[in-house]
Structure 1
Amino acid sequence: MTTSSNKPAQELAIKNTQNTAEKTSSTRRNAKQYTEAIAKLFVVNHLITETEECSIEQRTQQREQKEREAQQANLEKILKIAYDVSNEDSANMPDPDWLAQFMSIAKNIHSANMQALWGRVLKKEVIAPGSFSIKALNTLKNMTKKDAHAFQHACSLSCSFGTDQGRKLLTGAISHKMSLLVIPKREQSKLTLGQYQLPYHELLSLIELGIIHASELESGSISQHQALPLNYQNHHFKILANSKISTLTYYRFTPTGNELAHLLPVSLYEGYQTDLINLLSRYFMVESS
């Protein structure tokens, strides 16, 4: 039986890609070559290449052995990341059921970027057990690299206001002004999140993952007399309404979204902050605090 490689899955993929490329005169592989490379990677290429006379039992053992070795390598990398980012803060052992679920999922995380996220999850859970629910782990498991980038952008645009520290994506402001006919005149200004690297289809992906609530919400009326605190990426502001009825529109992060947001560092999007303050200034008195 052929000895299995002990390299991680992504390293094997690179090696197989290079070997295939050397056998072809073209630098661009076609669909058949990609399919063959995938089959070799997962040791299911017997009917394609038939290079060895092995029984199906032997081929199954080879595939399972390679899979176990890749899983072992994934866990070792993630635990090393958690170890490297940890310090000597007081800590506790996570709940055993949580830890079992973490290991069960983490062993199949192959992407280096996603492994870094999982390493930070473990580090934070060791410092403060209960920081991440099993639901949050399952959400993170279903998150692709593209989803992770979208989530990072959403976090960089998120703020909080009032006494609620939950993250929100502010999308606009509304003012209801009284006219001579005593019929409120509604004025509204909007921010298009797509201008700030969060297009609507990516927002929908985050909604489907359960990270952001589906409905765009409208706040209660903002007071003209008591300033409302607003925090954007550790930049603190206070706003007072210019008219009797002024509100904010926003998307709200779910509890799972708020949990996972703690994995990412504070990231200021200066263009968004400038546009947000300019928009708010049309309807509110805005002060930096």
Structure 2
Amino acid sequence: MSTPSNKSSQALTVKSSQHTKDSASSPRRSSKQYTEAIAKLFSINHLITESEECSLELRTQQREQKEREVQQVNLEKILKIAYDVSTDDSANMPDPDWLAHFMFIAKNIYSVNMQALWGRVLKKEVIAPGSFSIKALNTLKNMTKKDAYAFQHACSLSCSFGTDQGKKLLTGAINQKMSLLVIPRREQSKLTLGQYQLPYHELLSLIELGIIHNSELESGAISQYQALPLNYQNQHFKVLASNKMSTFTYYRFTPTGNELAHLLPVSKYESYQTDLIHLLSQYFIIESS
């Protein structure tokens, strides 16, 4: 059975076996050689290679020309991706200001994996203008490939409960029992998200990007009498509290996080679902619906 991590790799990684072979067979290069290669790539190697004398103006023109050419290639690749994943469904032209902002950012997206995300953004925006805010575009611009992997893992662990369809990361449950001294005795059970490929440092990165709110929250008391709907990756449950003082703990996606979550193909973590249901069963009555 394919695991979510395997599917994540398939969704976000374009494998290049030839590149791997070339890397293995090519001699190791020094930092000096890489610095020189970078300088040549951006046409700013004049002082390093002591090339034939040409004016500063001409060197500037050469650099700017090369930069514009690469940006043109980036945009062409992203538009081709958007075209390839589009269908003949009814669509509309995005807002001109949004489109201008999209192009301004997209021209500087060089990674093949991130270009694929930007292509899907444009496709979804054409189908439903207003799907992605300019704030969401700015957030996506700041995401690295590593951030995208972490976000995909977070989406695969996310659920929704109650009437709010916003995505949440359930992390545990709290049960408070009255003692003989009428002082509530607080019991808490937690899941460690790092066990499911979302370590805490990656969660912090998503918080810093503004994709997830920066504090763990506690729900209101779950009812003993009216079932609370809980949806995890299209599997539906009904939850009733065993007593009147039981709650969930969770991290909540921001509005930007919920917008961007529609970009990534996700699948459920069977082990996370099993462990989550086992944990919640200590304090709640869980039924599949």
* Residue 119 of structure 1: aligned partner: 119
Write the letter of the residue equivalent to 2:85.
V
Give the alignment of 1:248-259 within 5 angstroms.
248-259=248-259
Shift of 1:131: 0.3
* Residue 39 of structure 1: aligned partner: 39
Structure 1 Cα separation of the partners of residues 231 and 144 of structure 2:
29
Checking the alignment, whether the CA contact within 8 Å between 1:168 and 1:251 is kept in structure 2 is yes
Structure 2 Cα separation of the partners of residues 280 and 97 of structure 1:
47
Corresponding residue SS for 2:243: coil
Checking the alignment, whether the CA contact within 8 Å between 2:150 and 2:203 is kept in structure 1 is yes
Structure 2 Cα separation of the partners of residues 243 and 182 of structure 1:
16
What TM-score do the two structures reach when normalised by structure 1?
A: 0.90
Unaligned 5+ segments in structure 1 are 1-13
Corresponding residue SS for 1:195: helix
Corresponding residue SS for 2:276: helix
Structure 1 Cα separation of the partners of residues 199 and 266 of structure 2:
21
Moved more, 87-96 or 181-190: 181-190
Structure 2 Cα separation of the partners of residues 100 and 149 of structure 1:
27
Corresponding residue SS for 1:27: coil
Structure 2 Cα separation of the partners of residues 38 and 271 of structure 1:
44
Checking the alignment, whether the CA contact within 8 Å between 1:43 and 1:62 is kept in structure 2 is yes
Please tell me whether residue 67 in structure 1 is matched to residue 67 in structure 2. yes
Give the alignment of 1:214-229 within 5 angstroms.
214-229=214-229
Corresponding residue SS for 1:43: coil
Structure 1 Cα separation of the partners of residues 115 and 57 of structure 2:
32
For this pair of structures, how many residues does the alignment match?
Answer: 269
Give the alignment of 1:114-263 within 5 angstroms.
114-263=114-263
Shift of 1:181: 2.8
Please tell me whether residue 265 in structure 1 is matched to residue 265 in structure 2. yes
Shift of 1:178: 1.9
Checking the alignment, whether the CA contact within 8 Å between 2:152 and 2:266 is kept in structure 1 is no
Moved more, 31-40 or 216-225: 31-40
Corresponding residue SS for 1:276: helix
Shift of 1:184: 1.7
Corresponding residue SS for 1:136: helix
Write the letter of the residue equivalent to 1:224.
Q
Identity among equivalent pairs (%): 85
Listed one character per residue, the Cα deviations across residues 60-96 of structure 1 (whole Å, up to 9, x for unaligned) are 1111111111101100110011011111111000000
Shift of 1:26: 7.7
Checking the alignment, whether the CA contact within 8 Å between 1:177 and 1:244 is kept in structure 2 is no
Please tell me whether residue 54 in structure 1 is matched to residue 54 in structure 2. yes
Corresponding residue SS for 1:165: strand
Shift of 1:269: 1.1
Write the letter of the residue equivalent to 1:252.
R
Listed one character per residue, the Cα deviations across residues 108-165 of structure 1 (whole Å, up to 9, x for unaligned) are 0000110000000000000000000000000000111111111111111111000000
Write the letter of the residue equivalent to 1:214.
N
Checking the alignment, whether the CA contact within 8 Å between 1:237 and 1:287 is kept in structure 2 is yes
Corresponding residue SS for 2:220: coil
Q: Name the structure, 1 or 2, with higher relative contact order (CA <8 Å, separation 6+).
A: 2
Q: Quick one: structure 1 residues 190 and 26, their matched pair in 2 at CA, closer, same or farther if it must change by over 3 Å?
A: same
Please tell me whether residue 97 in structure 1 is matched to residue 97 in structure 2. yes
**Stretches of 4+ aligned residues off by more than 3 angstroms:** none
Write the letter of the residue equivalent to 1:269.
Y
* Residue 9 of structure 1: aligned partner: none
Listed one character per residue, the Cα deviations across residues 159-195 of structure 1 (whole Å, up to 9, x for unaligned) are 1000000000111100011223322211100011111
* Residue 274 of structure 1: aligned partner: 274
Write the letter of the residue equivalent to 2:280.
L
Shift of 1:54: 2.1
Moved more, 60-69 or 176-185: 176-185
Write the letter of the residue equivalent to 2:105.
I
Unaligned 5+ segments in structure 2 are 1-17
Shift of 1:103: 0.4
Structure 2 Cα separation of the partners of residues 144 and 214 of structure 1:
20
Structure 2 Cα separation of the partners of residues 28 and 173 of structure 1:
52
Write the letter of the residue equivalent to 2:211.
I
Write the letter of the residue equivalent to 1:184.
P
Write the letter of the residue equivalent to 2:203.
L
Shift of 1:53: 2.5
Structure 1 Cα separation of the partners of residues 81 and 258 of structure 2:
22
Write the letter of the residue equivalent to 1:104.
F
